[in-house]
Amino acid sequence: MRTRATIGVAACVLLAFGAAPARATLNPLLLFGGPELQDFLGCVTCDAAEFYSIWNADSDYGSPKHPNSIWNRKGRYGSTDSPYSPWSRRPKSVPVVVDRAGNLCGNFAVDQSYPGRVSDGYLIWLLEGHDWIADHLDEVREEFRHEGPDRPPCGLPTSPGP
């Protein structure tokens, strides 16, 4: 059963025991997938040095070979054929993005008409640029080497500049 509480608890546990405090991302956005959202797919806003980051080449989450990585084009969450992939033509269930408090940011689906699709520009860039990013993964990782994209928690607008 998809519950906000379950995702929130999982998000808090992962961050409490796995994130390095000195390099911790201010507002990590986390990706969960699977029929019951039981698979943690990584942090989409963490910098590449953080273990749970989708940009970390040395972790399962950033590996193009790991079966649950969004960068594995033949895997459950990176292919166009899997019913659980955001890039599926006919998804049964797409991953969701949540903030560290467990607030739902939206469904991570490339299909613009998918109900509840994320609206954040960075997340849409990830979805719509997936093939290009996967082809240039090492180059793109460098952009996230020392800091991930700074995103507000879900439901909060980006604060205006100074």
Please indicate, yes or no, if residue 155 is contained in any of the structural domains: no
Query: Contact, 78 vs 85, CB < 8 A?
Result: yes
Nearest to 62 by CA among 2, 122, 148: 148
Q: Which residues contact 10 (CB under 8 A, 6 or more apart)?
A: 32, 40
pLDDT digits (tens, 9 = 90+) for 16-33: 334 433 345 678 999 999
pTM: 0.78
Q: Is residue 149 part of a domain?
A: no
Instruction: Give me the domain span that covers residue 72.
Output: 4-143
Please write the tens of the pLDDT for every residue from 71-102.
999 999 999 999 999 999 888 999 999 998 88
Of the candidates 75, 91, 74, 73, which has an alpha carbon nearest to the alpha carbon of residue 39? 75
Q: Does some domain include residue 154?
A: no
Confirm whether 26 is domain-assigned.
yes
Q: Supply the mean pLDDT for the chain.
A: 82
- Domains of the chain: total: 1
